[in-house]
Structure 1
Amino acid sequence: MADDALILSEIRGPVAVLTVNRPAALNAIDAATLRAFEAAFAAAESDPAVRVIVITGAGEKAFVAGGDIRDLESRQGLAHYQEFGEEIHRVFSRVESCDKPTIAAVNGFALGGGTELLLCTDLRLLADTARLGLPEINLGLFPGAGGTQRLIREIAPCRARELMFTGDHITAQEAVALGLANRVVPRAELMAEALRLAERIAAKSPLILKLLKRTLRQGSQMALPQALAHEQAMIGLVLDSADAHEGCRAFLEKRPARFTGS
């Protein structure tokens, strides 16, 4: 894809890498970028050769530094609700509910919509230079792309409120300590580490990963007794797959499993 595209999409074997490509604007999300991202994500999601999707930002400074403030300032409430607000919720929910594992490779600032996008991904690797935060309160706003609901479900509610009430930025190390990310990686090693992790996951059965993701996502919305019953039903479904039996046979025969996704 051309370097001037809003989203750069690259296929590296079983891994798709999507790069938000507005470095001069710190990869801020406006309506055009959001639509380009949705199209690129949909293509990776529907490509049977792609097993893992990595999301990152172009340039040295930012993953996604939030929404485009000029774009937001030009909007009025009802039009925003019906247009951009509805679109960004749809797109971010699509990332969250994707059957393929997703990895955020956070190379710099992930503020506002950047943190909200990160919250929709499965795994998060942060460069040691990364900064996270929901600073919307400083603009007379509050998080409107899922941040108020996802953050308070991921970390202690009092810490989530503090971050949203103050608009403070936190370091990569603080984000890991809060449970918002998996680990901190030296900036120069971030993409290599993200690709290594993606390739390890891509070697697993795509069918079992899909069913595992659905079990985790759906079960998290249930009370524990119902969630356990759901898990029991889903593992029964897994045992009807060829991949489950291939994995068990490979273990017994002391050889690598050859998963086909069936």
Structure 2
Amino acid sequence: MSPIDITRDGAVATLTINRPETLNAIDVPTIKAFHAALDEVEADDGVRVVLFTGAGRAFIAGGDIADLNSRQGLAHYSEFAEDIHRLFRRIEIFDKPTVAAVNGFALGGGTEILLAIDIRILSDKARLGLPEINLGLFPGAGGTQRIIRQLPLCRAKEIMFTGDMLSADEAVAVGLANRVVPHDTLMSEAMATCEKIASKSPLTLKLLKRTLVAGGDMPLAAALAHEQAMIGLVLDAADAHEGCSAFLEKRAPSFKGV
């Protein structure tokens, strides 16, 4: 049985990490299952948004500590670390928008994967953090680099240096997530967000994500030139003219992704 369950609801595919007995800890088989699930939803043109959540009390409680403890540096670098870096980068640049419904603990690798997901919605029971320092480690799945690009440096350092957990409200306050919702309405509110995004042009969303990802790594002058080129591509697409025509005709647009 795969540790990643895939369900479909219209244009939204939900990937559920289903290892509740380990609080959904990430190990190598789970990373491989994630790639297989992403292959499936990437190839399905009917899927416009991907929603991530966890089974049981956790979103992802981190890496599998027993697995980590079994490795020395080079083996970790060339196996687990390389695999998880590739996975999180794939999620970060995935052409379809991604949303997280964080149902519980998102610690270590759980927070690191959130840093690669576009929109993060938290249950009021969620707890986030990077506690690796308590094990004599530090975040090594992209977390050190993504968090300093998303949060003020002093806040990022405090989270990593202390290893303290953040409540859902604290996580939103520092900028790690978008909003907190009641636990019982988490999935319905996350799905409503996914459906709103899925109603937009999938082609424009893809090009917008590419513009944001690439531009974020460029100096401003280069990023602005890149944006100019990308919006030119958008205006070559039928969806852009469908959207403008719908506005002028006072009707809802029907985007086809072309």
- Report the TM-score when normalising by structure 2: 0.99
Residue 110 of structure 1 and its aligned partner are, at CA, apart by 0.2
Q: Distance in 1 between matches of 2:43 and 2:18?
A: 22
> In the alignment, which residue of structure 1 is the partner of 2:100?
104
1:239 is the counterpart of 2:235: yes
> In the alignment, which residue of structure 2 is the partner of 1:20?
17
Instruction: List gaps (5 residues or longer) in structure 1.
Output: none
1:54 is the counterpart of 2:74: no
Residue 224 of structure 1 and its aligned partner are, at CA, apart by 1.1
Q: Distance in 2 between matches of 1:191 and 1:231?
A: 34
Instruction: List gaps (5 residues or longer) in structure 2.
Output: none
* Amino acid of the structure 2 residue aligned with 1:193: E
Q: Which of these residues, 167, 187, 190, is aligned with residue 186 of structure 2? A: 190
* Amino acid of the structure 1 residue aligned with 2:99: I
Q: Distance in 2 between matches of 1:24 and 1:41?
A: 23
1:144 is the counterpart of 2:140: yes
Q: Distance in 1 between matches of 2:46 and 2:238?
A: 19
After superposition, the CA RMSD in angstroms is 0.8
SS of match in other structure, 2:140? coil
Deviations 1:28-73 (A, max 9, x none): 01111111111112211221110000000001x1100000111111
SS of match in other structure, 1:103? strand
SS of match in other structure, 2:122? strand
Residue 168 of structure 1 and its aligned partner are, at CA, apart by 0.6
Q: Which of these residues, 3, 8, 12, is aligned with residue 5 of structure 2? A: 8
Residue 198 of structure 1 and its aligned partner are, at CA, apart by 0.3
What is the identity percentage for the equivalent residue pairs of Structure 1 and Structure 2?
67
SS of match in other structure, 2:177? coil
* Amino acid of the structure 1 residue aligned with 2:21: A
> In the alignment, which residue of structure 2 is the partner of 1:37?
34
Number of aligned residue pairs: 258
Q: Distance in 2 between matches of 1:46 and 1:66?
A: 28
1:230 is the counterpart of 2:210: no
Residue 5 of structure 1 and its aligned partner are, at CA, apart by 3.1
Q: Distance in 2 between matches of 1:129 and 1:186?
A: 8
- Report the TM-score when normalising by structure 1: 0.97
SS of match in other structure, 2:116? coil
* Amino acid of the structure 2 residue aligned with 1:239: L
Residue 180 of structure 1 and its aligned partner are, at CA, apart by 1.1
